Each structure stands twice: as structure tokens, then as C-alpha cells.
Amino acid sequence: MLDNEKLLQRGLEQLDIVDGEHGRSVADTLAGIAPDLGQYLIILFGEIYSRPQLDLKQRELVTLTALAAQGGCEKQLRVHVNAALNVGLARDEIIETFVHCIPYLGFPKVLNAVFVAKEVFEQRK
């Protein structure tokens, strides 16, 4: 199994930096129903986000776009709008990421993503 202690530990550390409280809560929710899924998530997250080729701000730009483009990922977008703020992206960089997608994705997916960002921004005051 992939879930040896060291990989999990690194994943959790990375998750704490990027997601704050939200990351571990996803894994906790999975504990009762699909614990392996939670561990894969943590391990893959730790692996990918600690690679040196892109920094955390760039990674969150990419994540926000991948989630907005798929549609139907409002829950995950909420986590990653928070994560984007945690790693230092400004609010208008987050909004601009979605605005930039208008010509590529059309308005409906962009609007859905912006409304998620609006909610998160309001919750964080």
C-alpha cells in the first residue's frame, strides 16, 4: 500500500500550509466511508504540491482553473479559493483567473466560479 507513514506525514504538512483547517476535514469526512481515498488524496497532494517546478501561487492558479473548467466542482472550488488566499494570491488575482477563462470556457462556468469566490470572500470578511 502507498500509505506509509512518511508519505502521509509529508502530505498532511503540505495540506496544512495550503488548505489550513479545510484540508484535514475532507480526509476526516472520508474516514468513515472510504479511508483509503482520504489517504490517497493526502499522499498525492503532498507529492504534487511539493514539486519544485511551480510555486504554490502558480499551483493554485492552475487548480482554480481546472476546477472551474470541469463544472460541478463547487465544493472543491470553495476549498481552493481559500487555499489560493492562504498561499498569498490576492482577491483580484483569483477573480481575474476566472475572468481570463471567459473566452475559453464561456460565461456560465466563469459565473459559477466567481459566485463561489464571492461567498468565500464574504465569509473571510
- Name the 3-class secondary structure at 79: helix
In the complex, the smallest distance separating the C-beta of residue 57 from a copy of itself, rounded to whole angstroms, is 9
Task: Copy the grid coordinates of residue 21.
Answer: 483547517
Looking at the Cβ atoms of 13 and 66, the one nearer to a copy of itself is 66
CA distance 62 to 94: 11
Binding pattern for the stretch 14-53 against a copy of itself, x by CB under 8 A and - elsewhere: ------------x--xx-xxx-xx--xx-xxx-xx--x-x
106 and 118 Cβ atoms separated by less than 8 Å: no
In the complex, the smallest distance separating the C-beta of residue 26 from a copy of itself, rounded to whole angstroms, is 7
27 and 38 Cβ atoms separated by less than 8 Å: yes
Q: Does 5 bind a copy of itself (CB under 8 A)?
A: no
Q: Which of 100, 29, 15 is nearest to 59 (CA)?
A: 15
Residues that bind a copy of itself (CB under 8 A): 1-2, 7, 26, 29-30, 32-34, 36-37, 40-41, 43-45, 47-48, 51, 53-54, 58-59, 61-63, 65-73, 75-76, 92-93, 95-112, 114-115, 117-118, 121
